[in-house]
């Protein structure tokens, strides 16, 4: 019997990460769900196992280099390899410019950008030595097409993700490793529904009115694209940003 592909998802406890973990398990992968949210991460694993899939949870704070190194090493030692790495962990906190301290800037960048680098850096040596692997980074429309009022730190970090992805893609391409990014538009998650930090429920309703496809995205809409980029079907794609926004960018809004 062919060995299951091993997919590691950061921020896999909720939202797009959760949907990606479930979709990957549905495709027959063994999924390593990582998050700082232990309860939510374990619930995802329980859901996957209850529906016949294979998964495990590992606690991972992407701000910690020792944790990132330890988790990746443990997965490689247990399973032999990481076939697909989905770098999804992130935060988006509304902070008006006068209150945007060095600390608040650094926290966002430490999670949303450097956190991706830490996990990728840990996983890439083994991927390169075996000559295969796929990495998918989560950026945002706010990092590739728009600015976002009172989210300067977030927009800058997500723009940085694109640079990180492209730099990695060039450096590891000849080693058989592909690196791409997905840029979601408005996706109905707890983050987007937050009145404090994002659109809120009324904002989500209004957004659906001007999105060409007539609705706000669902986490599954993004997860399916991530799954494609991590699969052999995307074998000739690297260094690219795939926008998943229901046509929003095309409107020029």
Can you give the length of the chain in residues?
253
154 is catalytic: yes
> Nearest 5°: CA angle at 37, between 102 and 110?
25
Q: Which runs of consecutive H residues, i.e. helices, occur in the chain? A: 15-26, 38-50, 65-79, 102-112, 114-130, 141-144, 152-172, 200-210, 219-229
> Please, are residues 145 and 127 in contact by the beta-carbon 8 Å criterion?
no
- In the three-class reduction of DSSP (H, G, I as helix; E, B as strand; rest coil), residue 8 is classed as strand
Out of 10, 18, 92, 154, which one is annotated catalytic? Answer: 154
> Please, are residues 32 and 44 in contact by the beta-carbon 8 Å criterion?
no
Q: Which residues are catalytic?
A: 154
């Amino acid at each position: 019997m062919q060995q299951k592909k091993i997919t590691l998802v950061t921020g896999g406890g909720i939202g797009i990460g959760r949907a990606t973990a479930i979709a990957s398990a549905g495709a027959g992968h063994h999924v390593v769900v990582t998050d700082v949210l232990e309860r939510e991460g374990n619930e995802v694993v329980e859901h996957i196992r209850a529906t016949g899939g294979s998964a495990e949870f590992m606690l991972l704070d992407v701000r910690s280099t020792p944790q990132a190194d330890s988790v990746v090493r443990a997965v490689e030692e247990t399973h032999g390899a990481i076939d697909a790495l989905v770098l999804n962990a992130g935060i988006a906190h509304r902070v008006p410019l006068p209150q945007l301290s060095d600390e608040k800037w650094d926290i966002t960048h430490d999670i949303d950008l450097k956190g991706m680098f830490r996990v990728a850096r840990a996983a890439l040596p083994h991927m390169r030595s075996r000559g295969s692997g796929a990495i998918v980074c989560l950026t945002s429309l706010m990092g590739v097409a728009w600015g976002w009022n009172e989210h300067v730190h977030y927009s800058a970090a997500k723009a940085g993700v694109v640079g990180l992805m492209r730099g990695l893609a060039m450096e590891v391409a000849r080693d058989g490793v592909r690196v791409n990014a997905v840029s979601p538009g408005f996706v109905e998650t707890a983050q987007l529904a937050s009145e404090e930090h994002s659109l809120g429920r009324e904002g989500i309703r209004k957004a659906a009115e001007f999105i060409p496809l007539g609705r706000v995205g669902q986490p599954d809409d993004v997860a399916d694209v991530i799954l494609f980029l991590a699969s052999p079907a995307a074998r000739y794609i690297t260094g690219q940003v795939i926008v998943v926004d229901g046509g929003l960018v095309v409107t020029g809004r």
